Every structure is written in structure tokens, then in C-alpha cells.
Amino acid sequence: MRFNDAVLGAVLLAFSITIGLWARSFPAIPGQEYGAAVFPTLVAVALGGCALLLILSGLRQGGGVLLFEGWARAPGGYVRILCTIALVIFYILAAKPLGFIPTMTVVLLFTLRMLKTGWLPAIAVALATAIVLQWSFGNFLQVPLPWGILSAWRF
Amino acid sequence: MSTMEAAFGLILHWNVLATIMAAALFGLFVGAIPGLTATMAIALLVPVTFFMDPVPAVGAMVACSAMAIFAGDIPGTLLRIPGTPASAAYTNEAFRMTQKGEAERALGANLLFSAVGGLFGTLVLMFTAPWLAEIALKFSSFEYFWMALLGLTCAAFIGASAPVKGLISLLIGLFVATIGLNNPAGVPRFAFGNANLMGGIDFISAMIGLFAVSEVLRTVAGGARQAPMVQASIGNLFRGWGRLLKTYWRQQLRGNILGTAIGVLPGSGADIAAWVSYAISRRFSKTPEKFGTGHLEGIVESTSANNSSLAGAWVPALVFGIPGDSITAVVIGVLYVKGLNPGPTLFLTDPQTIYAVFLIFILANLIMIPFGWGTIKLAKQILRVPSKMLMPIILAFCIVGAFATNNTVFNVSVMLVFGVLGFVMEENEIPIAPCILGIVLGPMLEQNFVTSMIKADGSFLGFFERPIAASLGVVTLLIWSWSLASYLLARQRSPHAADVQAAGRGPTKP
């Protein structure tokens, strides 16, 4: 997912302008010249400068908005990245109601299958990892991983 | 001597020793698997260390990082795929030796000189850190401001393919550090009124995202790598060690000194130490024509350098709270969590803990030899672990680790955001390490900057009034102008060379 430097620069420029303007709204400390806004403003100015340099070098470089190299030539790579992100979001939303073991098993199973692991090993690895993590982090390190629908069977 | 006794007392517990052993094995495994870096090993280890006492927690990180940097040499030598970026400098050379049937000679030298290099760096750490701490006790906000800025400068400019991109990474990190209430004025910044964001971005979750999740995304995007078969057979590793030490003592010493120095320099770590040492070894060699054909000389020097830089990086970390590389950046975060705020006062209040860390460094580099031998013997099996199974498991560890930092699912979101950010950054050749240093050093830089501005009444000249502050300031400004000048010069000389070079480089890292 290699962008043209000009595109990256434009995004960063917009971002730096946003944080620069936002920083202006921070309240000043009465009688004090250097408050909460100073440092973010400096960061915004420096970032804006770098963004301009990137835009310049990107324009000189020319070429398309997105360079298609390596995995980016086939659409499958993008789909798999989006699926992975979606799986983590699924975990964030479902872990509490469903519980750690079912949610993590689903996440692992999908990821394993996406990377072309066979069905049987995928199911075995997914279940084993989820249970071992629940046992080791949940009991041993006392991380409160949610039990959800499996509350009756907690160990 | 009582401090030393207390330090021995701290580490001579079965649970401390067992933790160190376990972390060492974990480090060897992660380091030996191509694509999993030493920093990633540390990022995955940190959530587990939350539940330990300070000494075993720090010990685990020391042992893990030393082992991972050494183990990176194994797939580099056997398969021509560096296990960690720190081994990339001499991967070709080492693989040529394997092709000539000298795999055991290359690996034996890697093991020996990694351990010796680590011990050398430790000695430097033991003798310079307490001495520097005494000087650092007299530091005011001006010196700390310059120290932090110098560290960030080095991080952004050294080792980045384009200085602008290193700087961008750094500024993103500094911005992330400003999120939340944690600033001199106590004003909520960039928090959208969100209670979780008010507390600031959790640095460990960000780190797990940047270093581990980004790698998972890269594997997912490109499809899993086939596990390659190791063809070489490995004989007796220990043969000829005495002769190696005698033949290459000069290269070894030079590698150790340079590696430690680069480690001490804030913001540059093991990978840069290895590249620079390899180049220097070739430059001063009597037989430079042999380099690249499977010649041991450069390997000795650079493998010494990358391991010695690890201990060197702890000097600024312990004395000033300024990380020497991305690994010590995490260590600093953990030290704060453990209530051991790094800085010169730590040497006064908790000397036994510091000495315990030194002892763990020595121990870790000594057990490297038997453990490393075992790993090399098992290398064929370890390298056969398929990444199509490993990467999903790593993702699971990332999720659990990010959750465990604060027991909130919010940090899993932080991890995800930074994972995507890290992935996009690396795809576009924006280095990640400066960003992580920016996040760690941001609060310190801002605090000391604002305090100094108030003290100096807004006059920038005030930053140069104290002698040490002035020298640090001049060095920082020199690095800035030197980087700018060499960038402009390179551009003037060949207006398109930089672009051609950038276009020719592949999108993924080795």
C-alpha cells in the first residue's frame, strides 16, 4: 500500500493544520505565556513543514496516487487486511457478551483459514490457543478475561 | 560491597532465575523466526512482566532481548533470511559461508562473539552509568531538554532512508504523547471528551500495535511465507574458538567499542551498530576483496557490535530516562510502571536494583552460550514452524497483551489503530522506531521545554547559558544542520538519484 509521497504529504498537511488550529482553542494559564498550546503548536508547524517537503518530492517523482508493488497488485491482500481489522473489531465488541474463549476461537479460526491452514489443524490450534490463553492469563496472571456464555464452566 | 550482596540476594531466587531462563528461551525462539524482531519479542513479553516484581521483570527483558539479537543470526546464516533486522548487515556473508560448508564456523563465531560483545557492553554500562549519574544529578531542565531533543534527533536522522520520513515518524509520536491530561497545564488535549483518551494513549498497547500487529497485517497481506528447508548440516560449534579469539581480537574489540558507543547514542540501536561495524571492518581490512565471499572477519565485527549495543543502550535509559533504542524505550515504560523512575536519583535510592540489572546482564550473556548452542542444534525444527499458524497466534497474544495493560478493551482499539498506522508507515518507508521514541520522550521533552521557557522568560538564549546545556545544544544543532546540508547537497548533485533509489526499493522490509 505504497502511496505517492504527495498524497502522504497532503494527508499529513491536513492533519497538522487540524491539530494546529485545535491547539489554539486550549485555555491559557492566566499570567503565564507558555501553556498547553505551545508544544502541540510546535509539533503541528514542524509536521506541516515536513508535509510540504513530501508533497514537493512526490510531485517531482510523478506517477500514480498508489504504487502497486508486491502483494498490492492483487485485490486479495486488501481483502485479507480488512478482514483482519474486522476480526479485531469483532473481538472488541463481542468479547464481553460472548466471552473470551468463543470470541478468540472465532478470530483465530478465521485468521488461520485466511492464511490457508487446513481445517483440522486450524480448529485445533484456534481452540487450544484460546483455552491456553484463558488459563494462563486468566488464572495465572489474573487478567480478568471475560467468560461470557461459558460462565457456568469457568475454571 | 553490601549493595552488591543485596543485588545478588535479589537475583538468587528460583523464581527470578526461572523467569530469566524462560524469557531467554522465548527470546531465542522469536529471534530465530524470520520476521519476528527483538523489539516485537519485548512488546509481547511486557504484558506478562506487569505481574512480576521489578527485578524479574527487568531481568526477563534483558535476557529476552540479548537472546533475540543473537538468534537473529541463525536463519540469516542458514537460510539467508535475517531473523531480526540487526542481523541483516552480514546475512549474505554468513550464508556464503554456509554454502561453502562452513555453517558451524559462522554460527560458532556468531555465538561466541555475541556473548563476548554483550559482556563488553555490560562492563561499559557498569562503569559509566554510576559515574554519569553523578553528573546528571546536577542537570536542570535545560540539560534535560537538550538531552531529550538530541536523542530524538539521532532517532530521526540516523538510519532513516530519508531524513524527512524519520522526522515525520518522530512528530507523529510527539503528537500522540500530547493526547490527554498529562501536560504541565493539566488541560485535556485532543481527547474528544473521551475518558479513556483523557488518560493518554497507553504506550504499551501502541507499541504492541506498531511492532507486532503491523507485522501480522503484512503477513496477512502477502500470504504466509512457506517454511523453507534448512539444507546445511551443523557440526561442532565450539571448534577453533581459541584461534578465533586470537585471530580476530582487533575486529572484536573495534566492534565492541563501536557497538557500545552506537548503543549509548540515544535513538540508534543494534541494527545500525551492525551496519556501521560491517562497513568499518571492510574499510580497515587487510583483505577487503574477501568480503562478500563468505569471509568471517566482517561477521565477527558486526555480530560483536549488535550485541554490545544492547547494553550500551541502557546507559542513557537508566541515567537520564532517555532510551538508547526502541527496546530500552519499552524498558523505560516498564520501569515507570514498576515505580522505578529512571534517572540519576535511581542510583541513590535503589542502587541494589541497578546492580541486580548489571548482574542479570552478565548472567544472560553467559547462559547465551549453552542456550544458543541448543537453539542452533534445534534450528531445523524451529525454522519449520509455519508462519501461517504462528501469525494468528501472535495476533491473539497481541489482543490479550493490549487488554492486560489496563484490563480495558479500549486498549485493544489503541493497539489496532497503531497496528494499521505502523503497517501503512512501513509500507511507505517511514521508520517506526522514531515514533515510539517520540511517544516515550514527548512528555519529558514538553515538560522540560515549557519549564525552561518559563525560567528563561521566553528567551531562547537562556537554553545556552549553562555549559553542559550549551554543548548539548550545539551538538544537536550541528546534527540538524549537517543532516540538512547533506540532504541538500545530495539533491543538488543528482536531482533524481534519491527518487530513483526510492522507487527501486521494494515496499517490504527484509
For the entire predicted model, the pTM comes to: 0.86
Q: Is residue B510 part of a domain?
A: no
Contact B178 A40 (CB under 8 A): yes
pLDDT for B362 equals 93
The amino acid at A83: C
Contact B396 A70 (CB under 8 A): no
| DSSP label of B194 | -
Tens place of pLDDT for every residue, chain B, 510 residues? Answer: 588 888 888 888 888 999 999 999 999 998 888 878 888 899 889 888 888 888 899 899 999 999 998 998 888 888 888 888 888 888 888 888 888 888 888 888 899 999 999 999 999 999 999 888 888 888 888 888 888 888 888 777 765 667 888 899 999 999 999 898 877 777 888 878 787 888 888 888 898 899 889 989 988 888 766 666 676 677 777 877 888 888 888 888 999 999 998 888 876 788 888 888 988 888 888 888 888 888 888 899 999 999 999 999 999 888 888 888 888 888 888 888 888 888 888 888 888 888 999 999 999 999 999 999 999 888 888 888 888 888 899 999 899 989 988 888 999 999 999 999 999 998 888 888 888 888 888 888 888 888 888 888 877 788 888 888 888 888 888 888 887 787 777 766 655 544 444 433 333 333
Could you give the C-alpha distances from B459 to A34, B114, B452, B453, B464, in angstroms and in order?
Answer: 12, 48, 9, 7, 10
Chain A residues within an 8 Å CB radius of B409? 92, 95-96
CA gyration radius, chain A: 24
Query: What is the chain A residue with the closest CA to B417?
Result: A85
For Cα atoms B167, B265, B270, give the angle at the middle one, nearest 5 degrees. Answer: 85
Tell me which of A7, A12, A32, A34 to substitute to probe the interface with B (most B C-beta atoms closer than 10 Å): A34
Q: Is residue B200 part of a domain?
A: yes
In whole angstroms, what is the distance from residue B71 CA to residue B500 CA? Answer: 34
For Cα atoms A31, A34, A37, give the angle at the middle one, nearest 5 degrees. Answer: 120
pLDDT greater than 50 at residue A96? yes
Tell me which of A42, A43, A66, A139 to substitute to probe the interface with B (most B C-beta atoms closer than 10 Å): A43
Chain B residues within an 8 Å CB radius of A40? 175, 178, 189-190
Contact B48 A89 (CB under 8 A): no
For Cα atoms A78, A83, A85, give the angle at the middle one, nearest 5 degrees. Answer: 95
In whole angstroms, what is the distance from residue A33 CA to residue B295 CA? Answer: 61
pLDDT for B467 equals 85
Number of domains in chain B: 1
- Which cell numbers in the block locate residue B59? 531481568
Q: Which of residues 42-101 of A touch B (CB under 8 A)?
A: 43-44, 46-47, 50-51, 53-54, 57, 60-61, 67, 69-72, 76-78, 80-81, 83-85, 88-89, 91-92, 95-96
- Which cell numbers in the block locate residue B263? 548503543
pLDDT for B308 equals 93
Chain B residues within an 8 Å CB radius of A111? 220, 391-392, 395
CA B185 to chain centre: 32
The answer for A140, left when phi > 0, alpha when psi is -120 to 50, beta otherwise, is alpha
pLDDT for A127 equals 94
pLDDT for B414 equals 94
pLDDT for A62 equals 74
A-B contacts (CB, under 8 Å) = 185
- DSSP lists the bridge partners of residue A2 as A67
Contact B392 A104 (CB under 8 A): no
Strands A2-3 and A66-67: antiparallel
pLDDT for B49 equals 85
Expressed in angstroms, the distance from the first to the final Cα of chain A is: 44
What does residue B189 show for φ and ψ, rounded to 5 degrees? -120, 135
**ipTM for the predicted complex:** 0.93
CA B440 to chain centre: 14
DSSP 3-state assignment of B458? coil
Q: Is residue B509 part of a domain?
A: no
Render the burial of B396-422: b for 16+ CB within 10 Å, e for the rest.
bbbbbbbbbbbeebbbbbbbbbbbbbb
pLDDT digits over A20-46, tens only? 998 888 877 776 777 788 888 999 999
Nearest to B39 by CA among B396, B329, B263, B308: B329
pLDDT for B507 equals 32
Domain that holds residue B121: 2-381+390-504
Nearest to A40 by CA among B203, B177, B425: B177
Contact A71 B221 (CB under 8 A): yes
Q: Which of residues 22-41 of A touch B (CB under 8 A)?
A: 22-23, 26-27, 29, 32-36, 38-40
